[in-house]
Amino acid sequence: MNVLVLQPGFPAEIPYYVRGLARRGARVLGVGDMPAANLPAAAREGLWAYLQVSRFWDARALVAALRGWDLPVRLDRVECLWEPAMDLAAQVRAAFGLPGPDLAHARRFRDKHQMRSL
């Protein structure tokens, strides 16, 4: 399974998630605005490939950068455990036709009032 993780070096617990995915057999790819050399050791250990982008928070620019990334594998999943980037992950999933929470679901997850009404 090829898993794209958004911002694999932040927040502090995510590098361990990246490493754990890799140890369980996933091929983990990362995309973020941090230079690869600055990623925590646990993230670098778990990543199969990493793409640094300058406009991470711009969904169109991020999708364009990912489409232009010359990878010999197909993405199977997009993961993000960091709440501020949940909408972005949903937009990337939609652009690539991948399973997972869509934008409406991600927004409900982030809106506590909507969550209480479910």
Provide the residue-wise pLDDT of the chain in tens; the chain has 118 residues. 999 999 999 999 999 999 999 999 999 999 999 999 999 999 999 999 999 999 999 999 999 999 999 998 999 999 999 989 999 999 999 999 999 988 888 777 666 666 666 5
Count of domains for the chain: 1
Burial of 83 from C-beta contacts in 10 A (0-12 / 13-18 / 19+): exposed
We report the CATH number of the domain holding residue 72 as 3.40.50.20
* Eight-state DSSP code of residue 85: G
pLDDT in tens, 31-51: 999 999 999 999 999 999 999
Q: Is 11 helix (H, G, I), strand (E, B) or coil?
A: coil
Domain limits for position 90: 2-117
Longest dimension (CA), the chain: 44
Residue with tokens 């990334």: 69
* Eight-state DSSP code of residue 30: E
Bridge partners of 79, per DSSP, are 5
